[in-house]
Structure 1
Amino acid sequence: MITFRLLSDDHPDLAHSPLLRAALLTLQYTRDHGAIGLTQTKAFKRAFVHWAVEHFDWPGSSAEEMFRYNKVINEYEFPPLEVLHYLLITLRLARHFKGEFRLTKRGAEMAQAPGKLFAELIPFYVLQIDHASYARFEERPFGKWDVWMNVINVEADHGTTERALFEAFYGEEHDWDNDGWREMAAFSSCVLRPLEWAGMLVQTHEERGAKYVHHVFKTPLWRSTLMLDTDDMLRPVSVQ
């Protein structure tokens, strides 16, 4: 069973969520400007896409990196914004009206309520969205969120690696340099990345020879917001 605690609007751990930060910025921008212009295909116009790239401070997608090779960026070229756009419309926090993206009454209320917005946005994003739909490959990992999150809760409690997590679920025979790389890519894209975008996990990268080792850690937000069946299996952090 997965339960999300409701956090107060000023809870400091909410700052760990890139997706929540982006949602708040988008809602507040729309509130302050009245609306955001849409293209004929109902995507955000480039002016706002550029603003989002500059202000979201998205992990691994800084404005400097994004604009280094592309002076013009469309919504589909900035996946976090494309996913967020879909989420805000689906959750009825915003709507399309006469070629514009506008807030609903609920959306305007959520723009100033981070704790409530997190409770509305993040469980739906993590547990209900088809994450393969915006991943590089269409493969979906075998499994379900209740198992994934309860195992990660224990395995990553004091830090682990992406490879070790994959092995805990699917065995040792898969690796990035053999035929199992597609299964590992699906697990990374559909399980680890959504949790990282939500702010529950953080990954660091270490170069070892010709390979990169991906380390995975639970953030304080994981610990403050999640209640899981495996919580009673966690070992306390030892103090030297």
Structure 2
Amino acid sequence: MIEFRQIDDGNPALVHSPMVRALEKTFSYIAEHGGIGLTPSKAFKRVFLHWAAREFDWPGYSEEDLFAINKVLNEIDFGPLMDLHDVMIALKVGRHYKGQFKLTKAGQELVGQPGRIFGIFTPFYLFEVNHARFSRFDDEPVLGNWDVFLNVLNVETEDGATGADLRRVLFGEPDLAGGFDDVLSSLYIQVLRPLCWTGLLQENRDKGLLQTRESTFTKTPLWRAALRLETGGVVRRAPRH
């Protein structure tokens, strides 16, 4: 059983969560504009998407990143925001009403409470959302269970570990005869990236590195503040060669 500690609203570790930052900014936008405009298919309208790209400054999905490959944005182009939209609906924090997305009473009660936002959204997002929908095959199975992943990562990312390191520890050496590591791709999409988006891990792609295997993943202060794990007393791993 994975336990999350309650995070105080004033805890400075919350600054590491792109998800909490984006939700707070979304709530402020709704307060200022009365809601978020929806397309006929109930996706967020472009005026909000363009605003969110600028204001969220989401790692890997900044305004510069998004407009480098899109002239205009649709919600499907902005993966983190598409997830947040779905999760707000699922948690009944927001609803669609007369062509707009508005906060429910439960959502309004979260305004100005980033610690509660983290505590409500993070477990649901990690454990209930189908992250495989961003994979090449949306029915791709999860490669393990979160209890194992979090306890292993708790040790391995203490001083930082590359995607290749984590793939090797969890699943062994890859067979790259086909030129693509499906296992590492699934590990990133279904485990590592969601942990980064919630702010528990941080991904470092210094020097323009594009491959997950070369990225370094490190625990943020939010990991230590929020998670209570069996490997809580971290045992230092042996240096890698």
Q: TM-score, normalised by structure 1?
A: 0.91
Aligned length: 235
Letter in 2 for 1:231: G
Give the structure 2 partner of residue 155 of structure 1.
Answer: 156
Deviations 1:93-150 (A, max 9, x none): 1111111101111111212110011101111101111110233443334201011101
Does the aligned pair in 2 maintain the 1:206–1:213 contact within 8 Å?
A: no
Give the structure 2 partner of residue 25 of structure 1.
Answer: 25
TM-fit CA distance, 1:180? 5.8
Task: State how far apart, in whole Å, the 2-side matches of 1:33 and 1:149 are.
Answer: 39
In structure 2, stretches of 5+ residues that fail to align are: none
Deviations 1:133-188 (A, max 9, x none): 2334433342010111011101111111111111111111345x645611210111
Q: TM-score, normalised by structure 2?
A: 0.90
Give the structure 2 partner of residue 221 of structure 1.
Answer: 222
Q: Does 2:144 correspond to 1:140?
A: no
Task: State how far apart, in whole Å, the 2-side matches of 1:87 and 1:9 are.
Answer: 21
Give the structure 2 partner of residue 51 of structure 1.
Answer: 51
Which piece of structure 1 moves more, 114-123 or 206-215?
206-215
Does the aligned pair in 1 maintain the 2:174–2:181 contact within 8 Å?
A: no
Give the structure 2 partner of residue 88 of structure 1.
Answer: 88
Task: State how far apart, in whole Å, the 2-side matches of 1:11 and 1:170 are.
Answer: 35
TM-fit CA distance, 1:230? 0.8
Task: State how far apart, in whole Å, the 2-side matches of 1:51 and 1:154 are.
Answer: 38
Letter in 2 for 1:56: F
Task: State how far apart, in whole Å, the 2-side matches of 1:140 and 1:207 are.
Answer: 32
Q: Any residues of structure 2 matched to 1:7-18 within 5 Å, and which?
A: 7-18=7-18
Task: State how far apart, in whole Å, the 2-side matches of 1:67 and 1:232 are.
Answer: 44
TM-fit CA distance, 1:235? 4.3
Give the structure with the larger strand fraction.
Answer: 1
Deviations 1:5-53 (A, max 9, x none): 1111111000100011111111121122111111110001111111111
Identity within the alignment, %: 43
TM-fit CA distance, 1:68? 3.4
Task: Give the 3 Å change call, closer, same or farther, for CA 156–49 of structure 1 in structure 2.
Answer: same
Q: Any residues of structure 2 matched to 1:96-115 within 5 Å, and which?
A: 96-115=96-115
Letter in 2 for 1:214: S
Task: Give the 3 Å change call, closer, same or farther, for CA 160–111 of structure 1 in structure 2.
Answer: same
Give the structure 2 partner of residue 63 of structure 1.
Answer: 63
Task: State how far apart, in whole Å, the 1-side matches of 2:209 and 2:48 are.
Answer: 41
Letter in 1 for 2:33: H
Task: State how far apart, in whole Å, the 1-side matches of 2:2 and 2:141 are.
Answer: 21
Does the aligned pair in 2 maintain the 1:174–1:184 contact within 8 Å?
A: no
Moved over 6 A (4+): 207-212
Task: Give the 3 Å change call, closer, same or farther, for CA 90–215 of structure 1 in structure 2.
Answer: same
Task: Give the 3 Å change call, closer, same or farther, for CA 165–100 of structure 1 in structure 2.
Answer: same
Task: Give the 3 Å change call, closer, same or farther, for CA 206–68 of structure 1 in structure 2.
Answer: closer
